[in-house]
Amino acid sequence: MKILLANDDGIYAPGLAAMEKALRAIGDVTVIAPATEQSGVGHSITFLSPLVCKEIYDGDRKRGYAVEGSPADCVKLGVVELMDERPDLIVSGINGGLNAGINVLYSGTVGAAIEGAFFGITSIAVSLEWDEHAQFDRAAEMARQIISQILEHKSKSPRLYNLNIPTPATKLPPGEAELKIVPMGVARYGEHFIKRKDPRNRDYYWATGDPRPEHGEEETDLSALEKGYLTLTPLHFDMTERAQIDEMKPWNLKVLD
């Protein structure tokens, strides 16, 4: 199996190294990752400047490529130009920090997986809750197990998944962590900013991520993660509100001038 591994934390991120090590047990891994951290860039791509690309080695072993671009750039460039064969699987991560709820829309980690899905390749974004002493190796092994099972059950059509791992789950004995398949939470949050002055007396604002989202009756990735479950969410990049198309057809909208 040919695997393209990307991320948004950069080519030297510990989560990327842990995921590469774990995935080598199930396939031939090519790392194609941003040269520098690209957190929060979503699904942005580069087209107004060239994409500088550098081969990266681990000793004598060619590990992959560092791209001076976004996570989506890395996947696009990898599939079209850098890999000798089309990958069978694309994995993005492990991200240092959860990508759940509406953060899915901002995530460069998820953006890389979405780009893989554009190519019709099963793609999985993997994120681990932020912790100063994050157990990336344990999380990578957990992710590998889930990915292997997804591949056993995948349909003929490519699929896009978002996997999140809470810190407490990585500290449980083997076999005790549990996973829930849940929708992403869509409650709005992260509306607070701290206003400060810089040394030149100019105002600047720093996002705090507060307030925390409120949970409804339906279990979501956010509520399940708080309870210590791993969460897996199937995603789709088609943003069309199809139900509204039929509702709008009788409107008979016209260009008047």
Question: Known binding site for a divalent metal cation: residues?
Answer: 8-9, 39, 95
Residue 90: other Cβ atoms inside 10 A: 28
User: How far is it, in rounded angstroms, from Cα 241 to Cα 245?
Assistant: 7
> Binding site: which residues?
8-9, 39, 95
Residue 126: other Cβ atoms inside 10 A: 29
Q: Which residues of 57-86 are buried (b: 16+ CB within 10 A; e: fewer)?
A: eeeeeebbbbbebbbbbbbbbbbeebbeee
Two tokens, residue 204:
């600047």
**CA 142 vs CA 91, 149, 159, 166, 178: distances in Å:** 14, 11, 20, 11, 10
User: How far is it, in rounded angstroms, from Cα 161 to Cα 155?
Assistant: 13
Q: Kindly provide the residue ranges of all beta strands, DSSP E only, lying in the chain, ordered along the sequence.
A: 2-6, 28-34, 53-58, 61-67, 89-96, 123-128, 160-165, 179-181, 193-197, 203-207, 230-235
